[in-house]
Amino acid sequence: MTAPMTEVDTRFYTAQQRIVRTAANEAQTAWRQLDGPSIDSAAAALRLQVVATIEEAQAETAALAPLYIAATLAALGAVSNPVGALVSAMFSGLAANGLPLSALVDFALRRYRLALLAGVPPSEAHALGLAKLLTYVTTEAADAGRLARHAAAIAEPELAGYERVVTLPACGRCILLAGRLYSFTTGFRRHPRCDCDMRPVTHEQWRDDRPGNTPRELFESMTEAQQNKAFGTGDAEAIRAGADISRTVNARRKNAVYVAGGHEYTLDATTVRGVGRQLGDLAKQGGRYSRSRTPRPTAAQLVNTARDRDELIRQLGRFGYLR
| pLDDT, tens digit, 9 for 90 and up, residues 110-119 | 999 999 999 9
Furthest-apart CA pair in the chain: how many Å?
65
Sequence spans of domains, the chain: 7-158, 222-318
Q: How far is CA 172 from CA 144, 215, 225, 230, in A?
A: 24, 9, 13, 5
What's the pLDDT at 37? Answer: 59
Work out the mean pLDDT of the chain and round it to a whole number: 90
What's the pLDDT at 3? Answer: 42
Higher pLDDT, 216 or 196: 216
The average pLDDT across 270-287 equals: 88
- Is the pTM above the cut of 0.75? no
What's the pLDDT at 308? Answer: 93
Question: First-to-last CA distance in the chain?
Answer: 23
Question: Is the distance from CB of 108 to CB of 140 less than 8 angstroms?
Answer: no
Q: How confident is the model at residue 211 (pLDDT cuts 50, 70, 90)?
A: low
Characterize the bridge pairing of strands 181-183 and 263-266: unpaired
Query: Distance (Å, rounded) from C-alpha 44 to C-alpha 299?
Result: 50
Q: Which of helix, strand or coil describes residue 107?
A: helix
Query: Distance (Å, rounded) from C-alpha 67 to C-alpha 256?
Result: 43
